Structure 1
Amino acid sequence: MQYFTSDTHFFHKDLLGNNDFAPRPFPSVEVMNQTIIDHWNARVAPTDTVYHLGDIALYFTHPAVKSDQAVADVLSQLNGHLELIKGNHDSRALFKYLAAHNPIDHGQPKYAFHDVGVLIKYDHRQYYMTHYPMMLGIVKQIINLHGHIHHYAVPVKENINVGVDTPEQRYLTQPVPFGTPFSTAEIEQMVTGKAAEFKTKQ
């Protein structure tokens, strides 16, 4: 199975509480981190693939390698093979650390790394996955899955925010718990729901 998520922001204490940008109503980053881990693993099996579209964590320590170790420890607790697309808060140092500490999990490396984006096919559609929303212009059967903008949505029907804070969960018949990666079926619900909403506005 394939799943999609973005903007987990592990360890990012400045996001805690209720706010308009990225509401995280948790008492501590430890509780937030564990909530995401638990909800992730309740859905994702060890042999599944999760596309993480950037901003894995935001954590600074001295020396910096301590934060890389802490983030790697959290990621090691997540089920699945992780396809990591670099976000604006993902440092080269973190990716280098993960590449150097990349365990073999169910016959393949735990992590794969992408600087810009990934294109995959699903049914008769293509998902172009990036951290930042992309303005693709007039396209057929191409959907830009993205993160970065947290509790906001791009007013374009071909752009779907898959971040943990996305407001586009409203298109789902059954919203998922915070931090749960979205399935392809849920992505398609978002695509269909957003397209239908835009059609009513024309």
Structure 2
Amino acid sequence: MTNVFVISDHHFGHKQIIDFESRPFADVDEMNAAMIDKWNAVVGKDDKVYHLGDFSFLNREKTQAIVSRLNGYKFLIMGNHDRGRTRSWWLDVGFHEVSEYPIVYNGFYFLSHEPMYMNKHMPYVNIHGHIHGQKYEGAQYINVSVELWNYEPLLFDTIKEMLAPNEEQ
């Protein structure tokens, strides 16, 4: 069975993010290596990962080297820091699919980089990144930035379990 994961905001190669977000790494090389290991510890070769943006600050060759080491079928939803590069650039470095815009997953979940406006009467859930260690109020928002999930991609079934008490079936 193929598992589906979501994660965002790795910022591979971004030295300053260690201080900005109080990441527990001595330097960028340690951070990159740890995040690759954590990804591969939970994601299998046949699994699918939706990366919700801000993947890498590195050049083409170094980004490609990281993507090639990561398990799974990789779908990038471009974040604000990914937009300096084209959709085809991201495909060339190894992502299987790339979207410049949010997508709707399973007809109910909005997968986006930045949180989207959701009023309390909307029955949908927004799975997003961008705000790193911060959280939006309410069950309609799930922040999958790496800082909140021990730098590991989050199993989509875990999100469904988190929402189960709030869903009327």
The TM-score by the shorter chain falls in which range? Answer: 0.7 to 0.9
TM-score, normalization: structure 2? 0.87
Instruction: Tell me the amino acid that sits aligned with residue 164 of structure 1.
Output: V
Percent identity over paired residues: 32
Task: Kindly indicate whether the alpha-carbon contact (under 8 Å) linking 2:9 and 2:55 is maintained by their aligned counterparts in 1.
Answer: yes
- Within-5 A mapping of 1:27-176: 27-59=26-58, 67-93=59-85, 95-102=87-94, 110-121=95-106, 126-137=108-119, 138-140=121-123, 142-166=124-148
Runs of 4+ in 1 over 4 A off after TM superposition: none
Q: 1:134: how far off?
A: 0.7
Task: Kindly indicate whether the alpha-carbon contact (under 8 Å) linking 1:9 and 1:57 is maintained by their aligned counterparts in 2.
Answer: yes
Find the structure with the greater CA-based Rg: 1
Question: What is the root-mean-square deviation of aligned Cα atoms in Å?
Answer: 2.1
Structure 1 gaps of 5+ residues are: 60-66, 103-109, 167-175, 196-202
CA distance in 2, matches of 1:80, 1:37: 12
Task: Kindly indicate whether the alpha-carbon contact (under 8 Å) linking 1:160 and 1:191 is maintained by their aligned counterparts in 2.
Answer: no
Determine whether 1:26 maps to 2:25: yes
2:5 is matched with which residue?
3
Instruction: Tell me the amino acid that sits aligned with residue 182 of structure 1.
Output: L
1:2-30 Cα deviation digits (max 9, x unpaired): 0000001101100224x5xx221201111
Structure 2 gaps of 5+ residues are: none
CA distance in 2, matches of 1:56, 1:94: 13
1:105 is matched with which residue?
none
CA distance in 2, matches of 1:79, 1:149: 25
The residue matched to 1:75 in structure 2 has which SS?
helix
TM-score, normalization: structure 1? 0.74
Residues paired across the two proteins, number? 164
Instruction: Tell me the amino acid that sits aligned with residue 46 of structure 2.
Output: T
Q: 1:155: how far off?
A: 1.5
1:63 is matched with which residue?
none
CA distance in 1, matches of 2:159, 2:4: 11
